[in-house]
Homo-oligomer: A and B are copies of this chain.
Amino acid sequence: MTTLLIKTLRDICGAAHVLTEAADIEPYATDWKRTTRGKPLCVVRPADCQAVAAVVKACRSHSASIVPQGGNTGLAAGATPGEDADEVVLSLTRMKAIRALDPVAMTVEVEAGAILQVVKEEAEKHGRLLPVSLAAEGSATIGGIVSTNAGGINVLRYGMTRALVLGLEVVLSDGTIVDGLRHLRKDNAGYDWKQVFVGAEGTLGIVTAAVLRLVPLPRETVTALLSVADVGTALTLFALAQDTVGEALSAFELISATSIDLVERHAGLKSPIAAGEWYLLLEAASSLSGLEPAMEKLLSDAFEQGLALDGVVASSRQQAQALWELREHVTEAEAREGGGLKHDISVPLGAMADFLAEAGNAVSEICPGAGFNIFGHLGDGNLHYNVLLNGAKNADAVNRAVHDAVVNHRGSISAEHGIGRYRLSEWLRTKPESEQRLSRAIKQAIDPEGLFNPGKLLPKQAKGDAV
C-alpha cells in the first residue's frame, strides 16, 4: 500500500517532490525547538492547489493521515508528524506566489507557502503594512500564521492574524477545493466558515491561499525603554499611555530584571537605563505629526507621577533597534543559561499582579531553587512565563502549577503558540468539558474521518471512529 501511495504521490507532484530518504525528511520531521521528532511516511511538496487536492484524495484512499506544514517554525509541535510512519507531511513551501497586492483596497492575495517577511517587504514597497511581527517571520509562512492565528508584538494595536484574514482557499478531506478568496472587508452572507480554519492548526483542512488585510504604513515610530518598580505601576503606565498616545500605541512589552540580566550576561548587550524590578519597552507609530510630542508628554508625566524609575526615548532608528535587541535576545540568552520551562500564558490585566504572586509562590514551593525569566506582551495580558529549573527534575509539577494559577484567574494556557502536540494533555486537563465538546463537534463536522493532523489540538481518534 505504502509503495503504491508513494508512486501515486510522485505522479501528482513529480519524483523530486516526494521525499522518502531519512536525511531529506529530517528537517520536516523535527520541530522548531528540536525537542519533538516524528517519523513520517514521506514528505510531499505539491506545486499548486489542484495538486494538494489530488494528494489529499490519494492519502485518504490509502488511509494515510496528512500533516500540513509551512515554515515549520511553530512552538507547539503542531506541524510535526507522529511516530507511526502512517502520516504524510504535506509541505506548502513550493506555493509561494504573491498573486495580487492592491494598495488602495489594502489587500494582498498570497499562497500559503509565501514567507511572512517577503510579503511584508512587498507591502512596504506600496506604503502598506502587514502587521504581524514575530521572531520567526523570516521563515514562517502565510499558511502557518493563518493556521496558528499567530500573535506577536503588534497584537495590541492590530489584533491577532485572524483580524487580518479576509478570505481563504482551503482543501477539505474529500479533496474539495473551497474558494473563499474574496477581497472583502465586509461579508455577512451566511456563516463565516473561514473562521474555523483560522487557528485550527491544520486539523480541519489545508489552507492553500489567503487574502489578508493591510494597513497604512505609519510614517513615524517612537520607541522608549522605562524601568518600573512593580507590575501594578507598569499597568498604571499602560493606562496613561492609552490616554496620551491612544490608538498609536503599537507595542507595550514587559521584561523582568532577570531577563535583562540574562541578556547582559549572555548576549553582550547593555541596558542604557538604571534597573528596576521590571522594564517596559513601548512603541508608538503613526502617520500624524503629533506622535513625538505625545510620547514626550507620556514620559514626562510618567516621571512626574513617580511611575518610572528611569527611562530613555530612542533618538534614532539605530537606538530604537538597540532597545529592541534587549527584548529579542531574551529567548537566546535563556537557552545559553541552560534553558527554561516555557509557558505562553495570558490572564486578564486586572488579575496580572495576583497571578504573578500566586504562580511564583506555587512554583517556589515545588522547586525552591527556581528562577523566573518573565517577559512578553503586557498590553495584551500575554506573558512568556519561563521557569529556570536550575537542574530540578519536577518540570511537570511546575507546569501544572503555573497553568492552575492561569485557570484560576480565567486566563489561557496558550495565548499565542497554540496547542499542537505540546499542550494537548494540559488542554484536556484544564479546558471545561462544555468547550471540549464544542471542539470535538467542530472537528467531527469538518474532518469526520480524522484525516488531518491527528493528535494535534484534539486527541487522536481511532481510524473511522467518530470524534
Contact = CB atoms under 8 A, between A and B. Distances in A.
A189 B288 contact: no
Contacts of A321: none
A246 B438 contact: no
Contact of A190 (B289, B410, B457): B457
Interface stretch (A42-50, A158-166, A260-268, A329-337): A158-166
A296 to B, nearest CB: 12
Interface string A42-77: 000000000000000000000000000000000000
B246 A219 contact: yes
A435 interface: yes
- The interface size bin for chain A is 35 or more
A193 B438 contact: yes
A49 to B, nearest CB: 13
B105 A381 contact: yes
Interface in A78-105: 102-105
A348 B186 contact: no
B382 A435 contact: no
A427 B377 CA distance: 42
A133 to B, nearest CB: 14
Interface in A234-284: 235, 238-239, 242-248
A22 interface: no
Contact of A415 (B149, B184, B427): B184
A143 interface: no
A142 to B, nearest CB: 17
Given A105-B348, A191-B196, A246 B288 contact: yes
Given A102-B350, A189-B431, A412 B184 contact: yes
Contacts of A186: 151, 155, 160, 346, 377, 380-382, 412, 415-416
A208 interface: no
Contacts of A179: 432, 434
A183 interface: yes
A191 B439 contact: yes
Given A155-B185, A192-B149, A418-B188, A176 B246 contact: no
A8 B293 CA distance: 64
Interface in A368-394: 377, 380-382
Nearest to A413: B189
A423 interface: yes
A420 to B, nearest CB: 10
A257 to B, nearest CB: 23
B188 A199 contact: yes
A294 interface: yes
B294 A189 contact: no
A199 B286 CA distance: 32
A439 to B, nearest CB: 5
A72 B199 CA distance: 33
B103 A239 contact: yes
B104 A239 contact: yes
A423 B103 CA distance: 32
Interface of A: 102-107, 127, 148-149, 151, 155-156, 159-160, 162-163, 172, 176-193, 195-196, 198-200, 215-219, 235, 238-239, 242-248, 286-291, 293-294, 346-350, 377, 380-382, 410-419, 423, 427, 431-432, 434-435, 437-439, 441-446, 457-458
Given A105-B350, A159-B163, 19 more contacts: A104-B238, A105-B381, A127-B243, A160-B188, A183-B410, A185-B382, A186-B381, A188-B415, A188-B416, A189-B414, A189-B431, A190-B435, A191-B199, A191-B439, A196-B196, A246-B287, A248-B287, A288-B294, A444-B445
6 contacts: A102-B349, A156-B185, A183-B381, A188-B416, A189-B413, A191-B443
